[in-house]
Structure 1
């Protein structure tokens, strides 16, 4: 319908232009008996052609406004695309910053490990593994949330896992087709698998497997349930 309207307007414009120029030439062929009653010939021609000229002007105005609206639409679409692109770049930068912070929290996790050779201050992956392994031997009921949360290491580890969950949520707000987002998602999964999650064979599909607890018979091994449940939640976000 829109194309038909444009086509009719153009034909009407062409007809009006031709009529404006041809009418004075055709005037001598017309019966001029009554022209004197209306004034001079110029007034008669003007009175006839003015409505046609106004019609042409109206059509030209319509076409000009239509072209302006079309141009405005193109500009608006480009602005919206630029805004979306800028917003995604901003979110990607936030994810990059958040991921760097997440890495630092893992690296800064510390635990003073004691064995027959003495005490040793551990950091990062080794500190997390040794802390969780020793937690079961500290005469603390790992099934009792209040008892477990008395240890700073548990609260710090939960904070790290919550940061990972928030990072996954932020990643999910951006198009999954973005190569940058896939890159950070894979890095995050790598950090969790090799630094926090229980050990598993690399050839297996991502499916955390741990030994059954001797007390509750659930497969959380020496991981406190409050931590293991969060780990399983993060595992469900893997691709």
Structure 2
């Protein structure tokens, strides 16, 4: 029996345009008078941010604004309903821009808005950040070790309560169970116990992250965003 699709190598109707660059991607959209944004990210996996000097970037012709941790309000420890799980506002806010510390390589430290993409990129090089590089961890076991450096003090403080009493670097514990677990083990002819680990993975998307936002005079917001979470972007805007 032959099938139309199963066992065949169909040609994607949009494949050729995508790999040759003829297709329009999110970063290809340009609007009249568009402001270009760039983000300065930490080159260190764990570092204390001692100071941020944005004066040279602000003085550059064509730069409209430069923002860092001082431009974002400190939020209280509340949680709001998310698409899948409740969202910790403090954790999310600290992920938008680094506060006292950069918690991972690539953590956003400052952002620039300029009249052109080239000016915004140049302005990033003019932001002076004084880092105190701190010990970091690369594996789950290293993060959970008794002598591990504390990465996020907010999480460590929450984990130190008697109610939770979790290791300081444990951001979340997820347990999935179904049925009578203990009964199933008791009746099993063979029980195999192992510890399984998997690497961090990400989608093999064909375009880089990009986002274009337009706000009209009535306050209506249109967003063109390269993301797999379109509904989440709309819900949180």
Q: TM-score range by the shorter chain?
A: under 0.3
TM-score scaled by length of structure 1:
0.18
Structure with higher helix content: 1
- RCO higher in structure (CA 8 A, sep ≥6): 2
TM-score scaled by length of structure 2:
0.19
Structure 1 or 2, whichever has the larger Rg, is 1
Structure with higher strand content: 2
